[in-house]
Amino acid sequence: MSSGSLIDQIDAFERTALAAVQSAPDAAALEAVRIEFLGARNGRLRDLQTVLGKATKEEKPVVGKRFNEVKQRVTAEYETKQRALSRPKRAAGGLDVTLPGVRVEQGRRHPLTQTILEFKEIMGRFGFTVADGPEVEDEWHNFQALNIPADHPARDPLDNFFLATANYAARQSTASELNLTAQPAAVTGPRLLRSQTSTVQIRVMESNPPPVRIISVGRVYRPDTIDATHSCMFHQMEGLLIAEGTTMAQLKTVLRLFARAYLGHDVTIRFRPSFFPFTEPSVEVDMSWDNTGTKWLEIGGAGMVDPNVLKAVGYDPDKVTGFAFGLGIERFCMRRYRVPDIRYFTNNDLRFLRQF
């Protein structure tokens, strides 16, 4: 037998063996291919080796070398294919359906946003519509019109976030000359981050005749020392009702009904006599933290709108009266969900936020 035909036989084996390996569709078919071609007992490679045993002495180095090459190549090809088939199957498009799924993270509203939406809904049922006002305010709306005169301690620059504008410097030098009973030119006066949402009361009354029945919800800013129940930025819900013949009893009823609507019937609301420049009489409002009757948390202030405020916006205090209240939104949310620290609301810790 010539070396040419032996080499041809090896080549032919290589072609058929590789084609069979490559076209095997699954592990079982590949195993059949292995037995047929590479099987140690009756495999075709074995047969080929037997045939090659007949090569002459001169042919042997060439034929033997080629045989080993082919054996290695087919074996390597088989192993590669075997690894590929034992990998998890991939559907068209590369999606590996055998891998555990990746959970789709669903977004949700911040607990305070949820609370605010619920507040608006509850107050809407009581007939209050929603009004809005700016967070950067002038002194007229934050103080003056609310019956907080220039020498009032609440206006101390250390207790407020005044904006560092040229206007602020101007205010410092002309404070004593300011006409404190007239509305300062809105564009020229100093500006501050509002310290209360009561500002919106003024804005609404300035541009609407009575009767008024509004709430306003938003951020307020105070340079308070931060602790578990205080923050230098928090949210308030302001309420204002102006009409003929309003009473303190109505105010207390609205606040009680509101607190129960949001917190449930086991909450107790308590009113303490207090003072605010823009209400007379004034009360501070507490809610029970639990059922022990020993722990109370202040949730805001309220009262009958001071006649000076009504005059400042051009209302006639002899014709209309009203009540107003300002509630801390974080504290309601804390009570409802037993949040022990107000700082959770702004820490952006997902372990907290995911619980709502």
d(CA 13, CA 37): 9
276 binds ligand DAH (CB under 6 A): yes
Letters for 229-268 (x = contact with ligand DAH by CB under 6 A, - = none) are: ---------x------------------------------
Give the phi and the psi of residue 94 in degrees, each rounded to 5: 85, 5
Letters for 150-189 (x = contact with ligand DAH by CB under 6 A, - = none) are: ----------------------------------------
- Part of the chain binding ligand DAH (CB under 6 A), chosen from 14-22, 182-190, 294-302, 307-315: 294-302
- The answer to whether 135 and 193 have CB atoms below 8 angstroms apart is yes
- Part of the chain binding ligand DAH (CB under 6 A), chosen from 43-51, 92-100, 127-135, 271-279: 271-279
Sign of CA dihedral 233, 160, 289, 274: negative
Q: Which of 122, 242, 302, 342 binds ligand DAH (CB under 6 A)?
A: 302
Q: Which of 20, 231, 326, 342 binds ligand DAH (CB under 6 A)?
A: 326
Can you list the pairs that 38-43 forms with residues at least 24 positions away whose Cβ atoms lie under 8 Å? 38/74, 38/75, 38/78
DSSP for 258-316?
Answer: HHHHHH-TT--EEEEEEEETTEEEEEEEEEESSTTSS-EEEEEEEEEEPHHHHHHTT--
324 binds ligand DAH (CB under 6 A): yes
d(CA 309, CA 144): 9
- Part of the chain binding ligand DAH (CB under 6 A), chosen from 108-116, 205-213, 296-304, 333-341: 296-304
218 binds ligand DAH (CB under 6 A): no
How crowded is the C-beta side of 206, counted as CA atoms within 13 Å?
Answer: 13
Q: Which of 300, 312, 313, 339 binds ligand DAH (CB under 6 A)?
A: 300
- The answer to whether 287 and 297 have CB atoms below 8 angstroms apart is yes
Q: Which residues bind ligand DAH (CB under 6 A)?
A: 196, 198, 238, 276, 278-279, 300-303, 324-326
